[in-house]
Amino acid sequence: MSAWTTVCHVEDLLPERGAAALVGEHQVAVFRLQGDEVVAVQQRDPFSGANVLSRGIVGSAGDAATLASPMYKQVWDLRTGACLDPAGKEPQDLRTFGVVVDADGRVRVAG
């Protein structure tokens, strides 16, 4: 967890919409939630194998901030990566990535 990659400025991210970023070898989906909290999960949709999760719809389920896959509509908790709705398949969780937004608004992702 020593390497942090600056991927963008927080203002580059639309609220409740994702952006894809390259962090080393990893494709990462970065999301700006309400209140400017920024989180990141793997970009690869485990159900389809396509690198599309940054293009899913951000929402909420109770207190959890959620992401719905744009491919087959599975839903995950964006903060933990836990699969909340596997849409009839075996649940597959997402890898999450640490994110910090520094005082200048730079979004830095661990990994």
Partner 1 sequence: MRDHHTRNPSERPTMSLTSPGRVLVVGAGMVAHHLAEQLVTRSPEGAWQLTVLGEEDAAPYDRVHLSDFFSGSDARALTLPGTPWLDPRVQLRTGDPVRSVDRDARTVTTRSGRVEAYDQLVLATGSWAWTPRTEGTDLPGVFTYRTLADVEALRDWVARRTEELGRPLAGAVVGGGVLGLEAAAALQKLGTSATVVEFADRLMNVQLDDGGGEALRVLVTGLGMDVRTSTGATRLGAAADGAVATMDLSDGSSVPADVVVFSTGVRPRDRVARESGLAIGERGGVVVGPTCRTSDPSIWAVGECASFEGECTGLVAPGNAMADVVVDQLLGGSATYRPAADGTKLKGVGVDAASFGDVFALTPGALEVMFADPVAQTYRKLVVSDDARTLLGGVFVGDTSLYSSLRPMLGRPLGADPSAFLAPEGGAPAPGPDLPDDVVVCSCSNVSAGTVRAAVTEHGCTSVGEVKKCTRAGTVCGSCVPLLTKIVNSTLESAGVTVSNAMCEHFAMPRAELFALVRRDGLRTFTQVVEAHGTGRGCAVCKPAVASMLSSTNAGHVLEREHAALQDTNDHVLANMQKDGTYSVVPRVPGGEITPEKLVVLGQVAAEFGLATRITGAQRIAMFGARIDQLPAIWRRLVDAGFESGQAYGKSLRAVKSCVGQAWCRFGVQDSASMAVRLELRYRGLRSPHKFKVGVSGCARECAEARGKDVGVIATEKGWNVYVGGNGGFTPRHAELLAEDLDDDRLVQVIDRFLAHYIQSADRVQRTAPWVAEYPGGLAELRRVVVEDSRGIGAELDAVMAEHVAQYTDEWRATLDDPAKLRQFVSFVNAPDTPDPDLVYAPVRGQVRPARAGDDVADRNPVIARTLEVRS
Q: What residues numbered 55-94 form the site for partner 1, per CB under 8 A? A: 55-62, 65-66, 68, 70-71, 73, 75, 88-90
**Residue carrying structure tokens 């649940």:** 91
Q: Which residues contact 24 (CB under 8 A, 6 or more apart)?
A: 3, 5, 111
C-alpha span between 65 and 25 (Å, rounded): 26
Residue linked to tokens 């908790």: 77
50 is a site residue for partner 1 (CB under 8 A): yes
Letters for 8-27 (x = contact with partner 1 by CB under 8 A, - = none) are x---xxxxxx-xxxx----x
Q: Does residue 34 belong to the site contacting partner 1 (CB under 8 A)?
A: yes
- Site residues for partner 1 per CB under 8 A: 5-8, 12-17, 19-22, 27, 30, 34, 44-45, 48-52, 55-62, 65-66, 68, 70-71, 73, 75, 88-90
